[in-house]
């Protein structure tokens, strides 16, 4: 989205887009559902939890997927070297975000029960300071905050754990009424994003410059490393739906979601299909 | 530069654009055909690739599913047999993976395949961990199963994505083929339209440069034929074949007109000569005739027998008199001075008198005369000229059909009178009939018989002057039948009035 704005691709589509930054996708998503925004980029977790508590959103496309973007940063001085060492420790995580789901995945795959760990809600931007202050032993958080936390703990002061099984997926979401009333504009947005993906694929440095302009505090080299963990990938697919279902099962088991949520119906196929048919590998909505 | 080198060729001018047009159209069609063939070849190759990929993905899905079911079985009944079955299924699946990896997939296809291979590797790693932990119990086995289960579901989802992507590739190929067909049809239509336009332009050029000049020449030639005037055809200044034709036509026209003028002058001189000669000959001939008649009368009075030459001399004089009379008549006709003295005339009486007077000639020629004369065939005609008509027709029969029966018929209709003179000769061939009433026309077989060929010409002139018509047709016995149709009183009167006016 940053690249599409900076390269003027949205303007080319006659769209006057105003970007608004949020600390978490969850907050951006709430702004959408409360009618303050038309669309937002958000990870899967807030979207799933929304279906349990309010009107369902609409997923227009996947934006990226990554298995390495979210991690657990632990203080080395608390004796944490592996996930099993988290038993009895205090782990901070922004609630209702993908980091929470990441933490659940990591713990379960490593055989650590959720109840064996003390979970505390920490705002995403507060994670580095909270961790450095020693109020928590570890935190599950995404990049680039993860990297900030590592730096806050200093050289050798941290241990970073990632999960092979976890994949986070960001999406472009909107409300049903926006989908109905501003369909053409949403289609134009997808067209601009598809062009941006091609630009990024052909010239990764342009993507780097666009992101660096929004995150100037991160060095270019460091940013390049972080971007390599990402794979920009527009599309609506079985994989997206499967990820939503898998995650929903976890939250259902945790009593945070009803079992009847129709996740497939959240995904809009025809809009992206009109823009880039190859990016849609999910059958059309019935 | 010589005249020939400066001459432009109309054939070359027309051949070049038509040949170029045909060449361009042929090249365009050949290009379209080749382009479509290459495109069809490419699309067919893509279809084969997609079908192969789809078959392999299906096979991989089946084998992975088998392996996963066996893993589940192994969870329930751990043992080496189940583990071997899992490994065998995975080995087969690896074969399908290798074959898919060797395919020339699209960029998007490669992305999907990369994801699928990555998740498959993850699943296989977790699977080994799960199989190893099968006999253990507790959190380790549960966590291994959870990871394996999640990876398996993702693998299944990616296989489904790959399958749908392949189907969409087939849809895309079909759309491309349809689009290509539509473009090919549009190109073909455009080419045909352009060819039709070009053909129209060439046709217009041919019409402007060839057909129109030829039509103009044709019209001019018709006008020349009709008006007998030297009108030049257009296009003499052109350097091509049309110019050559125009110059040749103009030269020919000039020559023809000159010849025509010369001929008219010669004919005028002839007519003047005939007029003068006949007048000059008539006076001494009349004198000779009178003297011969006087000698004959005196010898008859004195009881002397006239010498044999007397009758011959008198016959030759009468013949000369007839010839000179004909020449004088022709001169009058040419001068437009053939006047009619119309009066109430009985055509049958005229025919009877002429036949009586001509009886000796008929007898000498051994022509048996048969008269069929209806009574009271009366009209306003010139009796003397009609007598001349009957006499000339009988003379014609004597000359051309000696020794045959000759019939003279007169009959009347309400508005017309008909005179027929029929002989039993060989008749007149159809090809000669249009010219038989022309002056100085004589049958080839009768040239030795003498005469000027004016008798029938005079007949027609006299009949025409009466407002009638004359024709020749075949007699039932094979001879010639001359039919004269004369209008009765009113018509003849109008003709006379017309002549008086002239």
With bands split at pLDDT 50, 70 and 90, how would you rate the model's confidence at B494?
Answer: very low
Q: Which of B479, B317, B297 is nearest to B398 (CA)?
A: B479
**What residues of A are in contact with residue B171 (Cβ under 8 Å)?**
277
pLDDT at B7: 63
Mapped to the 3 state alphabet, what secondary structure does B26-91 carry? HHHHHHHHHHHHHHHHHHHHHHHHHHHHHHHHHHHHHHHHHHHHHHHHHHHCCCHHHHHHHHHHHH
Q: Which of B53, B119, B122, B150 to mutate to test the interface with A (most CBs of A within 10 A)?
A: B150
CB contact under 8 A, A283 and B172: no
The residues pairing with A93 across neighbouring beta strands, listed in sequence order, are A121
pLDDT at B135: 72
Phi/psi-derived region of residue A235, left when phi > 0, alpha when psi is between -120 and 50, beta in every other case: left
pLDDT tens, position by position, B245-289: 888 888 888 888 888 889 888 888 877 887 788 778 888 888 888
Looking at the domain assignment, is residue A120 inside a domain?
yes
Residues A74 and A157 in one domain: yes
Instruction: Write the burial class of residue B451 (CB in 10 Å: 0-12 exposed, 13-18 middle, 19+ buried).
Output: middle
- CB of B140 within 8 Å of any CB in chain A? yes
Residues A275 and A188 in one domain: yes
CA angle A277, A279, A281 (to 5 degrees): 90
Answer with the one of A135, A161, A187 that is the final residue of a domain.
Answer: A161
Which of B142, B156, B157 lies closest to A111 in CB terms? B142
Q: Considering only residues 169 to 228 of chain A, which have any Cβ-Cβ distance to chain B shorter than 8 Å?
A: none
Distance CA A10, CA A189 (A): 6
DSSP string, A2-28: HHHHHTTHHHHTT--------SSHHHH
pLDDT tens, position by position, B217-237: 888 888 887 887 778 888 888
**What residues of A are in contact with residue B138 (Cβ under 8 Å)?**
111
Residues A196 and A224 in one domain: yes
pLDDT at B308: 81
Q: Residue B113 is encoded by which pair of tokens?
A: 């395949």
- CB of A165 within 8 Å of any CB in chain B? yes
Looking at the domain assignment, is residue A285 inside a domain?
no
In this prediction, the answer to ipTM > 0.85 reads: yes
pLDDT at B443: 63
The residues pairing with A90 across neighbouring beta strands, listed in sequence order, are A118
Per-residue pLDDT, averaged over B315-331, amounts to 82
- CB of A277 within 8 Å of any CB in chain B? yes
- CB of B161 within 8 Å of any CB in chain A? yes
Longest pairwise C-alpha distance within chain A = 55
Distance CA B118, CA B223 (A): 98
- Nearest-CA distance A95 → chain B (Å): 23
Residues A187 and A230 in one domain: yes
Contacts by A11-18 with C-beta closer than 8 Å and gap 24+? A12/A192, A12/A195, A13/A188, A13/A189, A13/A191, A13/A192, A14/A188, A15/A185, A15/A188, A15/A189, A15/A192, A17/A189
With bands split at pLDDT 50, 70 and 90, how would you rate the model's confidence at B316?
Answer: confident
Q: Which of B46, B108, B139, B161 to mutate to test the interface with A (most CBs of A within 10 A)?
A: B161
Distance CA B166, CA B160 (A): 10
CB atoms within 10 A of CB B202: 15
Q: Which of A236, A238, A240 to mutate to test the interface with B (most CBs of B within 10 A)?
A: A238
Looking at the domain assignment, is residue A174 inside a domain?
yes
Looking at the domain assignment, is residue A78 inside a domain?
yes
**CATH code of the domain containing A110:** 3.40.190.10
Please report, rounded to a whole number, the percentage of residues in chain B having pLDDT higher than 70.
93
Distance CA A4, CA A214 (A): 13
With bands split at pLDDT 50, 70 and 90, how would you rate the model's confidence at B3?
Answer: very low
The residues pairing with B470 across neighbouring beta strands, listed in sequence order, are B484
pLDDT at A117: 96
Q: Which of B371, B408, B412 is nearest to B393 (CA)?
A: B408
Per-residue pLDDT, averaged over B450-468, amounts to 86
pLDDT at B446: 53
Total tally of structural domains belonging to chain A: 2
Q: Which of A82, A111, A279 to mutate to test the interface with B (most CBs of B within 10 A)?
A: A111
Boundaries of CATH 3.30.565.10 in chain B?
338-501
> Is there a contact between A75 and A63 (Cβ–Cβ < 8 Å)?
no
Answer with the one of A161, A178, A206 that is the final residue of a domain.
Answer: A161
Tell me the residue length of chain B: 502
**What residues of A are in contact with residue B168 (Cβ under 8 Å)?**
277-278, 280-281
Work out the mean pLDDT of chain B and round it to a whole number. Answer: 85
> Is there a contact between A146 and A218 (Cβ–Cβ < 8 Å)?
no
Chain centre distance of CA B343: 56
With bands split at pLDDT 50, 70 and 90, how would you rate the model's confidence at B445?
Answer: low
Instruction: Write the burial class of residue B47 (CB in 10 Å: 0-12 exposed, 13-18 middle, 19+ buried).
Output: middle
**What are the mean pLDDT values of chain A's consecutive 10-residue runs (286 residues total)?**
92 93 90 95 89 86 90 94 94 92 89 91 95 96 91 92 87 96 96 94 90 85 84 92 89 80 89 92 80
Boundaries of CATH 1.10.287.130 in chain B?
237-337
Residues A258 and A118 in one domain: no
Distance CA A222, CA B245 (A): 93
Could you tell me the CA-to-CA distances from A215 to A70, A154, A202, A207 in Å, in that order?
18, 21, 22, 12
With bands split at pLDDT 50, 70 and 90, how would you rate the model's confidence at B502?
Answer: very low
Q: Considering only residues 165 to 204 of chain B, which have any Cβ-Cβ distance to chain A shorter than 8 Å?
A: 165, 168, 171-172
Integer Rg of chain B from CA = 57
Q: Which of B119, B147, B175, B179 to mutate to test the interface with A (most CBs of A within 10 A)?
A: B147
pLDDT tens, position by position, B414-437: 889 999 999 998 888 888 888 888
Residues A202 and A242 in one domain: yes
Distance CA B29, CA B18 (A): 16
| Among B93-97, B182-186, B194-198, B418-422, the range of highest mean pLDDT | B418-422
Answer with the one of A117, A133, A161 that is the final residue of a domain.
Answer: A161
Which of B122, B138, B146 lies closest to A108 in CB terms? B146
pLDDT at B450: 62
The fold for domain B237-337 equals: Helix Hairpins (1.10.287)
pLDDT tens, position by position, B346-373: 999 999 999 998 898 899 889 999 999 9
CB contact under 8 A, A278 and B111: no
Boundaries of CATH 1.20.120.1730 in chain B?
3-204
CB contact under 8 A, B146 and A279: no
pLDDT at A203: 92
pLDDT at A82: 92
**What residues of A are in contact with residue B111 (Cβ under 8 Å)?**
233
Mapped to the 3 state alphabet, what secondary structure does B417-430 carry? EEEEEECCCCCCCH
Looking at the domain assignment, is residue A284 inside a domain?
no
Looking at the domain assignment, is residue A196 inside a domain?
yes
CB contact under 8 A, A281 and B147: no
CB atoms within 10 A of CB B208: 10
Whether CATH 3.30.565.10 fits B338-501? yes
Distance CA B486, CA A216 (A): 129
With tokens 């992975």, the residue in question is: B64
**What residues of A are in contact with residue B172 (Cβ under 8 Å)?**
277-278
pLDDT at A260: 67
Q: For the domain bounded by B3-204, which CATH number is listed?
A: 1.20.120.1730
The residues pairing with A40 across neighbouring beta strands, listed in sequence order, are A173
Instruction: Write the burial class of residue B285 (CB in 10 Å: 0-12 exposed, 13-18 middle, 19+ buried).
Output: middle
pLDDT at B489: 61
With 0.95 as the threshold, say if the pTM is over it: no
Structural domain range at position A11: 2-66+169-279
> Is there a contact between A45 and A61 (Cβ–Cβ < 8 Å)?
no
**What residues of B are in contact with residue A246 (Cβ under 8 Å)?**
150, 153-154
CB contact under 8 A, A111 and B151: no
Per-residue pLDDT, averaged over B27-39, amounts to 88
Looking at the domain assignment, is residue A225 inside a domain?
yes
**What residues of B are in contact with residue A105 (Cβ under 8 Å)?**
150
Looking at the domain assignment, is residue A144 inside a domain?
yes
With bands split at pLDDT 50, 70 and 90, how would you rate the model's confidence at B491?
Answer: very low
């Amino acid at each position: 989205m940053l690249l599409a704005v900076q390269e003027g691709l949205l303007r080319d589509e006659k769209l006057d887009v105003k970007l608004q930054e949020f600390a978490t996708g969850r907050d951006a998503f709430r702004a959408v559902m409360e009618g303050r925004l038309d669309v937002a980029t958000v990870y899967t977790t807030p979207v799933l939890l929304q279906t349990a508590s309010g009107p369902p959103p609409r997923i227009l496309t996947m934006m990226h997927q990554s298995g390495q973007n979210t991690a657990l940063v632990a203080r080395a001085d608390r004796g944490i070297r592996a996930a099993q060492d988290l038993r009895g420790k205090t782990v901070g995580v922004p609630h209702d975000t993908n980091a929470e789901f990441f933490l659940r995945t990591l713990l379960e795959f490593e055989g650590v029960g959720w109840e064996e760990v003390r979970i505390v809600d920490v705002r995403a931007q507060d994670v580095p300071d909270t961790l450095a202050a020693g109020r928590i032993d570890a935190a599950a958080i995404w990049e680039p905050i993860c990297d900030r936390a590592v730096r806050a703990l200093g050289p050798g002061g941290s241990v970073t754990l990632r999960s092979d099984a976890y994949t986070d997926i960001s999406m472009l979401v909107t409300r049903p009424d926006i989908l109905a009333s501003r369909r053409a504009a949403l289609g134009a947005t997808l067209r601009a994003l598809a062009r941006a993906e091609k630009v990024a694929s052909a010239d990764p440095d342009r993507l780097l410059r666009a992101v660096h302009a929004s995150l100037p505090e991160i060095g270019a080299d460091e940013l390049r490393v972080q971007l390599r963990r990402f794979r920009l990938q527009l599309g609506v697919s079985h994989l997206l739906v499967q990820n939503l279902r898998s995650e929903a099962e976890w939250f259902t088991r945790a009593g945070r979601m009803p079992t009847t949520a129709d996740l497939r119906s959240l995904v809009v196929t025809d809009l992206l299909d009109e823009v880039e048919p190859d990016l849609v590998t999910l059958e059309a909505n019935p | 530069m010589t005249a020939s080198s400066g001459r432009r060729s109309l054939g070359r001018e027309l051949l070049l654009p038509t040949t170029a047009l045909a060449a361009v159209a042929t090249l365009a069609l050949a290009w379209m055909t080749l382009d479509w063939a290459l495109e069809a070849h490419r699309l067919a190759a893509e279809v084969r690739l997609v079908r192969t990929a789809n078959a392999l993905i299906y096979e991989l899905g089946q084998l992975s599913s088998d392996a996963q079911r066996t893993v589940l079985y192994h969870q329930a009944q751990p043992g080496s047999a189940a583990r071997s079955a899992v490994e065998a299924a995975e080995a087969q699946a690896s074969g399908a993976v290798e074959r898919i990896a060797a395919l020339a997939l699209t960029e998007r296809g490669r992305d999907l395949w990369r994801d699928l291979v990555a998740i498959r590797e993850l699943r296989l790693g977790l699977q080994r961990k799960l199989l190893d932990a099968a006999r253990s119990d507790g959190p380790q086995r549960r966590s291994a199963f959870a990871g394996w289960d999640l990876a398996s579901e993702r693998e299944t989802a990616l296989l489904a994505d790959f399958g749908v992507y392949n189907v969409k590739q087939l849809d895309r190929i079909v759309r491309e083929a349809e689009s290509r067909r539509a473009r090919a049809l549009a190109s073909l239509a455009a080419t045909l339209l352009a060819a039709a336009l070009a053909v129209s332009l060439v046709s217009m050029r041919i019409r402007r440069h060839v057909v129109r000049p030829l039509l103009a020449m044709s019209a001019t030639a018709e006008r020349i034929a009709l008006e007998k005037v030297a009108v030049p055809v257009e296009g003499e200044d052109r350097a091509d074949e049309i110019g050559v034709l125009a110059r040749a036509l103009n030269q020919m026209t000039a020559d023809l007109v000159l010849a025509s003028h010369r001929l008219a002058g010669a004919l005028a001189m002839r007519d003047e000569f005939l007029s003068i000669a006949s007048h000059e000959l008539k006076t001494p001939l009349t004198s000779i005739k009178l003297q011969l008649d006087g000698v004959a009368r005196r010898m008859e009075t004195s009881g002397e027998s006239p010498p044999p030459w007397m009758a011959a001399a008198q016959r030759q004089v009468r013949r000369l008199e007839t010839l000179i009379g004909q020449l004088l008549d022709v001169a009058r006709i040419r001068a437009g001075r053939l006047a009619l003295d119309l009066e109430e005339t009985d055509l049958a009486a005229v025919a009877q008198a002429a036949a009586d007077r001509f009886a000796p000639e008929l007898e000498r020629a051994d022509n048996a005369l048969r008269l069929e004369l209806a009574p009271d065939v009366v009209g306003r005609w010139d009796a003397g000229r009609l007598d001349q008509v009957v006499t000339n027709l009988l003379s014609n029969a004597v000359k051309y059909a000696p020794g045959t029966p000759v019939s003279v018929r007169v009959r009347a209709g309400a508005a017309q009178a008909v005179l027929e003179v029929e002989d039993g000769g060989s008749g007149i061939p159809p090809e000669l009939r249009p010219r038989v009433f022309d002056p100085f026309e004589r049958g080839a077989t009768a040239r030795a018989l003498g005469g000027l060929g004016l008798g029938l010409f005079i007949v027609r002139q006299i009949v025409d002057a009466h407002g009638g018509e004359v024709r020749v047709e075949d007699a039932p016995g094979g001879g010639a039948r001359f039919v004269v149709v004369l209008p009765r009183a009113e018509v003849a009167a109008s003709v006379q009035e017309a002549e008086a006016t002239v």
